[in-house]
Every structure is written in C-alpha cells, then in structure tokens.
C-alpha cells in the first residue's frame, strides 16, 4: 500500500494569509494526487486533481504542485469560507489511500 503523510497536521491562519499544506507519498506516485476539502458535517469536496489541475468551480486561489513523492496545496489568499480540513489522496494504485488530513483554523 502507498502510505500518505501530511504536514502540518494543523495550522492557524488569518484571512488574507497564504497557506501551504504538504503531502508526501511513501513511494513515487507520479502526478496521481488529489486534494479535497472537508467542512464539519459535510462531504468532502474535490479541489485539485492530477496534482495541479483545478476542479471546475473551485476558486483560483487554490493551487497544487508537485510530482513523485512530494506535493503541495497552496491557498494564496485565505478567505473565511476556506477554513476546513484538507486531505490528499493518491490515485496511482489501489487501495487509493488518503493522507491523515490537515486542519486549518482561524487564528
């Protein structure tokens, strides 16, 4: 199985901040990496697929980069509605494991 880790596990940010979350795979997954956002009591929402492609309807302040084993999700200008938990997921090989999540809360 492909183990996924995320750092940090949590962070505090202010509106307008630039926020970066890192996801690492135990072995190379090329660009097969997705990012999801989840708010309390809600289903996850796809933000980024194939490491850097923005899902339709997602604001361009969200961006993804990386390949191989290291990936980043960046929120360029944090908005009030962006505070949530963010999960990465590898789609390279089954089982398609998720990272443990990064909680971003308001400072």
Positions in the binding site for another protein (CB under 8 A)? 31-32, 34, 36, 38, 43-46, 49-50, 53, 55, 87, 89, 91, 94-101
Q: Which of 66, 94, 79, 70 is nearest to 37 (CA)?
A: 79
Question: Closest distance between another protein and the C-beta of residue 37, in Å?
Answer: 11
Residue nearer to another protein on the CB measure, 17 or 72: 72
Residue nearer to another protein on the CB measure, 12 or 93: 93
Residue nearer to another protein on the CB measure, 36 or 62: 36
Q: How many CB atoms lie within 10 A of CB 56?
A: 6
Q: Name the H helices within 4-107.
A: none
Report the alpha-carbon distance of residue 92 to residue 107 in Å, rounded.
35
């Amino acid at each position: 199985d492909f183990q996924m880790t995320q750092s940090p596990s949590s962070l505090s940010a202010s509106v307008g901040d630039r926020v970066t979350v890192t996801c690492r795979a135990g072995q190379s997954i090329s660009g097969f990496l997705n990012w999801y956002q989840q708010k309390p009591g809600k289903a996850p929402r796809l933000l980024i697929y194939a490491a850097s492609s923005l899902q339709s309807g997602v604001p361009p302040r969200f961006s993804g980069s990386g390949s191989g084993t290291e990936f980043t999700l960046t929120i360029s200008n944090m908005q009030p509605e962006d505070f949530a938990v963010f999960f990465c997921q590898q789609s390279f090989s089954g089982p398609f494991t998720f990272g443990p999540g990064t909680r971003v809360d308001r400072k």
